[in-house]
């Protein structure tokens, strides 16, 4: 509460945490479920949020702002999970691409990965590299431009063209019914596109 800066008394600290948990567990769980869907992921987010709350108990504002603090913590926990999932996704993509380049992908990758890798291979090298730097390496256009030795505007144009060509290679009959971002972009990564 307002006067427990630091909660030096262990009993008072535990009481404050129990009040926080009882008051807001369902709200934080609903927040997580609304973003992740029902299941273990939402429960894990709630556990992480309240673990953080226990550690940071002295800085949590008094009610009603305490619930907003918990929501902010949940948002950051979920964002970290998306970044981790994105890193795993990119790592698997790079491994699949390396296997493909080495000629070992002849059945080791699932058909969807093979289609994406084949479509990526058909792109112009400059466009492919810009696309991979922006999406797989998570570089901004300015950072990719520096790596490629061109302007950020040129990177943007290359990425735009690469996405259009990738869409055409992957979905020629359906005229792009599958969003290219859903194929190449890990969840949570948006580079202004």
Domain of 54, CATH number, reads 1.10.1740
| 18 and 76 belong to one structural domain | yes
For residue 168, tell me if it sits in a domain. yes
pLDDT digits (tens, 9 = 90+) for 2-52: 444 455 688 899 999 999 999 999 989 988 887 787 777 889 999 999 999
* 54: exposed, middle or buried (Cβ count in 10 Å: 0-12, 13-18, 19+): middle
Q: 91 pLDDT band (50/70/90 cuts)?
A: low
Q: Which domain holds residue 68?
A: 10-83
For residue 88, tell me if it sits in a domain. no
- Alpha-carbon distance 141 to 154, whole Å? 9
Residue 176 in tokens = 């792009």
Can you give the length of the chain in residues? Answer: 193
| 15 and 79 belong to one structural domain | yes
Query: Out of 43-52, 55-64, 84-93, 176-185, which region has the weakest mean confidence (pLDDT)?
Result: 176-185
| 79 and 20 belong to one structural domain | yes
- Alpha-carbon distance 87 to 28, whole Å? 26
For residue 102, tell me if it sits in a domain. no
- Which pTM does this prediction carry? 0.44
| 22 and 63 belong to one structural domain | yes
pLDDT digits (tens, 9 = 90+) for 135-166: 876 778 987 786 767 899 999 999 999 999 98
For residue 97, tell me if it sits in a domain. no
| 71 and 116 belong to one structural domain | no
Neighbouring C-alpha atoms within 13 Å toward the C-beta of 12? 10
Cβ(191)–Cβ(140) under 8 Å? yes
| 169 and 134 belong to one structural domain | yes
Q: For all residues of the chain together, what is the average pLDDT? A: 76
Question: For the chain, what is the domain count?
Answer: 2
């Amino acid at each position: 509460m307002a006067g427990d800066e630091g909660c030096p008394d262990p009993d008072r600290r535990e009481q404050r945490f129990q009040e926080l948990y009882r008051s807001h567990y369902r709200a934080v769980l609903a927040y997580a479920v609304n973003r992740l869907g029902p299941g273990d992921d939402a429960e894990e987010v709630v556990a992480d949020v309240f673990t953080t709350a226990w550690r940071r108990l002295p800085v949590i504002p008094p009610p009603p702002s305490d619930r907003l603090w918990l929501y902010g913590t949940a948002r950051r926990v979920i964002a970290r999970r998306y970044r981790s999932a994105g890193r795993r996704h990119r790592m698997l993509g790079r491994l699949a691409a390396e296997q493909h380049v080495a000629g070992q992908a002849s059945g080791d990758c699932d058909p969807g990965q093979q289609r994406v890798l084949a479509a990526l291979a058909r792109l112009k090298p400059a466009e492919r590299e810009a696309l991979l730097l922006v999406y797989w390496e998570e570089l901004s256009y300015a950072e990719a431009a520096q790596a490629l030795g061109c302007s950020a505007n040129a990177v943007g144009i290359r990425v735009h063209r690469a996405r259009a060509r990738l869409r055409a290679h992957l979905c020629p009959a359906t005229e792009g019914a599958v969003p290219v971002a859903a194929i190449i972009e890990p969840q949570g990564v948006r580079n202004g596109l």
